[in-house]
Structures are given as C-alpha cells and as structure tokens.
Amino acid sequence: MNTQNSKALFELANTLIPGGVNSPVRAFKSVGGDPIFMSWAKGAYLYDEDNNHYIDLINSWGPMILGHANEEVEKAVFDAVKSSPSFGAPGRREVEMAELIIEMVPSIEKIRMVNSGTEATMSAIRLARGYTGKNKFIKFEGCYHGHGDAFLVAAGSGAATLGVPDSPGVTKGTSSDTLLAPYNDLSVLDRIIAENENEICAVIVEPVAGNMGCVPPNDDFLKGLRSRCNAHQILLIFDEVMTGFRLSPAGAQGLLGVQPDITTFGKIIGGGLPVGAYGGSREIMNNIAPEGPIYQAGTLSGNPVALAAGMAILKKLNGHPEIYKEVEQTTRQITAGISKILSDQGLKYTINQIGSMYSLFFTDQKVTNFQKAKTTNIQLFGAYFRGMLSRGIYLAPSQFESLFISVAIQTAEVDLILKATDEVLLEIHEKE
C-alpha cells in the first residue's frame, strides 16, 4: 500500500503541530507506524491522500451512524451555511434541538448546548457542585470524560483512592476532589461513599464504557448506582457522549432502563461537527445562568450549522427506530464471525458488544473493568491493527477504544472485514 502522501503530510505536521496531530490517539503511538491522512469519505468508506480506501469502523468515534456524507445531513448543513455560519445571538434551531432531545430522552426536561463533550461534562460537574453544595465526585477507572483537569486523574495503589494528577499541568488541588472506583464494582463504591459521607455531589459514569474498549455494565451496576445516589443525596450523571442516540433513541439510559439526574451528550448530536450538551430536570437545570447563579457560557454554543447537522441525524433516528436494529444486526454479524474465526484458530480472545459498539480484546479474561482490559496483549493488538489497515480496514488505533458501526456497512463490507480478520490473525500467530 502506497502511503507516501500521508507520510509527507505527517512529517510536515510534526513541524507545525505537537506530535503532528490534534488529538493524541491519532498519532498511532500505541500501534506503530505513521498515521494515515484522510482526504474524503462516503458511506462506509474513508479515502486517504494516496487514494487508498478503507472500511471505516470508528466513524469519527461514533457520530457517523448514518455513514459518511449522508445526503440529508449534507443538505441540512448547506442550507444552514447560506444563512450564516454563526449569529452570536439566539436562533430557531437551538429551540428546535432542545425540543427534539427532550422528546427523545425522558430524563431531560431542560438542556443547555455547548461545543464539545468535554465542555458538557465539565459543566455538568460544576452544576452538580453548585446544586448540592458539595465538592467531591466519583468517577470510574478507565472511563473518559474529556480533558478537563478534574477528570485527568489516575488511581493510586488502592482499589479506591483520592485522585492524583494524571497529566503535568493538573494540580493536586484540582484533582483532590475526584474519587476513583473500579467500573462495575458496587462494593468499592459503597466504601467510598461511607468514607466521604455528605461530601459527594455526583457520580459520573459512562453507562457503557467506551474508553477502555467497549465494556457494558453488569446487570446490577447502573441500578445499583441509581439506588445509592438516591439514598445519599448524590446526583447521578450519565456521560452519554458516545452512547447518546447510538444505542437507542434515548441512548444507553433508554436501552438499559436507568434514568440519571444529568446527562451529557456529544458526537451524534453534532452530526460530525463540534457540539455538546447537558441536560436534566427543570429543578436542576434552572440553577444555570442566567436563570440561576451557576455560570456557564460559550461564544459558539448553539451554532446553527452544527445544530443543523445534528438535528438531521436525530430526526432520521427518531423517525426510523428500525435503524438501531439494523446496525445492531450488522454488528452481531461481525462479532459472531470473529468469534467463529477465533474458535477455528484455537484462540481464546474476548469480544464485548452492545448495540452497534464492540471491541476485540487480545486477552482470554472476561473484560468487565479497566484492570481486566489492561491484561490485553498490546503488541498483538498493534500487529492486528497494522494487518487490518493494510487490507483496507480502518480500526481505532488503540486497544482501549470502542469500535462503532454505521448503517452504511452492509453484507459486502462484513464479508471483507471477516476475511481480513481471518487472514491477519493467522498471519500474526504464525510469526509468534
């Protein structure tokens, strides 16, 4: 495969952009090789600067559930641009987007638009602190909630600990109010709550983890979070930046039957453009300025072009719920096919799947949390990634990222994915 134009662009980018990329995982550091620079995309396929094409299994990390360059989304964006890319004043689409989300997600009565998932989660934590008058919050190891300082913490030596900074530039003071627990572990959560009684404002969680690879919740986990938050006057925040409108019209909460107090959104609601949002009950949301004292603002929040793209997707999904069954069926075809390949080759690796999200972990352990995810063989995953890439299959360049299927992936693409998987797994294990 010729990638000389991508290589030249990456060399130039390294002189202009830190690491040559604008988001770290894109640099291929964990899988080896140089990143591929994309030129355009359509349907199920990405096309790079050297005219190679790839079946896309990340779909812009989730938002392109209808496939790339969907005609309805494109038309909505083009029509919006004609009226100006930005007003700096209220517009009709902000109201219509709020109406649509409130209609689709029962736990939300009011919603505030922002510009990214990170902004949404940062704002949600500030809202929880202001509403409850308490400062500490609990997050789960391996769950990613954006690059806000309070979220960039790592676990210490214990199973549960006060957070310590996970990045230079994050102060101990900033992270000291972040408490960590293992995902899918209610017993540790109970201990943390008991040790910090009346000090915890919120529990924030990815209802389906996507940033340790795809890790669904255990049957009792989300219900257990809900009951404990109710008992201790703690707000439950669902980070549905990935899962919102991907797993059902009401996101993971609709699929799994547990309602949070606050929900954060991103990705799909922007249709591939930068959009975030957070919402909840009127009682909670009325504390946000200018109605209440908790300040949050954004120059481009509610951008008319971004909202046009997001609304086009949401209207399509809301009007055609059968899409969810279709993409889940496609995903099951892929994971069932991979499972058969693993069995045929005598390999005992783990596949997690829910709806249109899945991950293949190079470990024989059941992956239910970040510690289990870290038992994966990173070297084997890197070899698998490179082998699939050379055969025209674009995976997430990290073991610890979920894959996302779009409705544009059909039987022909499934067959190519499985053929490549079979060949690559045979190839990398022959070299062992």
Give the active site residues. Answer: 144, 239, 267
Q: Which of 432, 345, 419, 341 is nearest to 380 (CA)?
A: 432
Quick one: tokens of 83? 């009226």
The whole-angstrom separation of Cα 252 and Cα 17 is: 36
d(CA 103, CA 105): 6
Give the whole-angstrom CA distance, residue 79 versus residue 219: 44
Q: Say if residues 113 and 307 touch (Cβ distance below 8 Å).
A: yes
**Closest C-alpha among 142, 147, 153 to residue 185:** 142
Residues whose CB falls within 8 Å of the CB of residue 280, separated by 6 or more in sequence, listed in order: 107, 108, 109, 110, 127, 260, 261, 262, 263
Q: How far is CA 29 from CA 156, 376, 395, in A?
A: 25, 17, 14
Find the angle CA(372)-CA(378)-CA(383) to the nearest 5 degrees: 140
User: Measured between alpha carbons, how far is 324 from 376 in angstroms, rounded to an integer?
Assistant: 30
Of 239, 241, 183, 246, give the one whose Cα is nearest residue 216: 183
How many angstroms from the chain centroid is the CA of residue 16? 28
What count of other Cβ atoms lies within 10 Å of the Cβ of residue 8?
13
Q: How far is CA 138 from CA 74, 146, 153, 364, in A?
A: 40, 15, 11, 30
Q: Is 277 helix (H, G, I), strand (E, B) or coil?
A: strand
